[in-house]
Structure 1
């Protein structure tokens, strides 16, 4: 192949004879260079795209990691707050149980119970036949288990206190309904129960009560709790108050100057019910005190001498 080169300045020309090898090299250069540039550009674009995708993937992982760190931090703070709350609850339960134990021991001493009848360091005695077997697994670790244990102990203490309260209430009711003591705050026995000489006729007569002499206007009190069944004037008795105490017991307080209660009132032991006077068949200020058991008159002296339960 012949290549002619023309010199535009001098108008001359020059020819070059190319062989097959030179022609092949020239063709390779003319065609290979553009193809190489295109291939290089393509490869470079692919690499840039891959780098960009890797960068985006790394950014996403970084954001996810930061989000997980924030969630972990929040969970940790929440766990710490829960732990603090459980610790405070445990301290409150411990203080509560201490107060319950102290109260139980104080009430036991006040009730004068026999030693060992109520032991607040032990759960209440209970039992029964085995109704069935259950396979239960207990978690004994951690604050949750301690809280559950203290709650169970508190329930035991509260159960014992409920029982003790019922016992004290029943004992108090029994003590309130227990006939005992004098029907006056101040006074002395001026006449006993039974046969005596009548102060008006001078003849033998049966006296169905005990007379307590004292200062007029002094207070007459109930010897036990009960319900006032009658107030008013009775022949020979003057102004009278009658109280029913249950179990068939009725007490009568006569010759009063004035009644302080009325029928239907509930009275407590030691409550003032009248003022001492000399109404009715009386020689002076005193209260005539009678006790009836199932409708029959009995000597009040045995109840006067009774000690409180």
Structure 2
């Protein structure tokens, strides 16, 4: 194969004779260059497409990761809210438990139970032999359900204890209003209810009370709770205190040296209401004690001999 080369500068030409290997090399260059370019372009296109697909995959993974992070943050927020709610609920239950302990101690005192029989300041006494252990796992729903059951049990106990407190309070009130005992702390009976000789005239007369003699200035006490309806001096009685106890009962304490209460005062059983004296129609320091039932004078002896309920 002959190749003619023409020079534009000198206007001459040259011819080159190509052998078989030269022709093959030239053909390879002429055909291989375009094919190489095509193959290179194809490979570049493939690589670009792969890069694009990898970019899309990375973007998708990034979006999915961000979505998971948002869901995780939301779940964490919900868990924190549930924990706060459970913590608040637990604090309320603890406060109610403290109240129940205080109420239990109050009821123990009201019921006059032996010391140590119900000690609410200590944990309950429990025990037993060692048993087989087992693991129990609780989730939030289980804990919420347990707290709900515990709260329901607390509510039930509160209602029962409040009913018991009401019953005990009524019993205490009845005991307080129950006429019983003597109207003095120290002393002796110097005159009974009924017919006797008058200490001033010596003639038979009816005595409407019981006289309790003692030391001047000692306490005169209420035989039951009630409301003071009168204090002051009255003819024959001297300095007197009158108490209304309800259910038609009224008691009088006369010949006092001094009254310690005034009308309208609420007094309790055993409270000092006056000091023993000898005012009015009296021969010495004593208390003239009278009991009225529905406006009629009755013998105080049966009430003096009464014991507390």
Deviates more, 1:291-300 or 1:104-113: 104-113
Q: 1:180 offset after TM fit, Å?
A: 0.5
CA RMSD between the two structures: 4.5
Q: Distance in 2 between matches of 1:238 and 1:173?
A: 31
2:37 aligned with 1:37 = yes
Could you say what secondary structure the match of 1:292 adopts?
strand
**Partner Cα distance (1:164, 1:192) in 2:** 42
Distance 1:9 1:296, change over 3 A: closer
Length, aligned pairs only: 277
- Name the SS for the 1:242 alignment partner: strand
| Residue 142 of structure 2 corresponds to residue 142 of structure 1 | yes
The Cα offsets for residues 113-154 of structure 1, whole Å up to 9 and x where unpaired, read as 9xxxxxxxxxxxxxxxxxxxxxxxxxxx82222222221211
Distance 1:262 1:83, change over 3 A: closer
* SS of residue matched to 2:244: strand
Task: Tell me, in whole angstroms, the C-alpha distance in 2 between the residues paired with 1:149 and 1:90.
Answer: 12
Give ranges in structure 1 of 5+ residues lacking alignment: 18-25, 114-140
Residues 15 and 192 (structure 1), Cα distance of their counterparts in 2 relative to 1, 3 Å cut? same
- The structure-2 alpha-carbon separation of the partners of 1:9 and 1:249, relative to structure 1 and needing over 3 Å to count, comes to closer
Equivalent position of 1:199 in the other structure: 199
Query: For the residues of structure 2 that align with 1:232 and 1:100, how far apart are their CA atoms?
Result: 47
Alpha carbons of 1:170 and 1:27: their partners in 2 closer, same or farther (altered >3 Å)? same
Give the deviation of 1:83 after TM superposition.
Answer: 7.1
For the Cα contact (< 8 Å) 1:223–1:270, is it kept in 2?
A: yes
- TM-score normalised by length of structure 1: 0.72
- Aligned to 1:171, what secondary structure does the other structure show? helix
Asked if the contact 1:90/1:146 (under 8 Å) is kept, the reply is no
TM-score w.r.t. length of structure 2: 0.72
Q: The residue matched to 2:231 in structure 1 has which SS?
A: strand
- Residue equivalent to 2:132: none
Moved more, 201-210 or 98-107: 98-107
Mapped to 2, the partners of 1:226 and 1:194 lie a distance apart of 26
* CA apart distance, 1:64: 3.4
Contact 1:4 1:13 in 2 (8 A): yes
Match of 2:174 in 1: 174
Unaligned runs of 5+ in 2: 18-25, 114-140
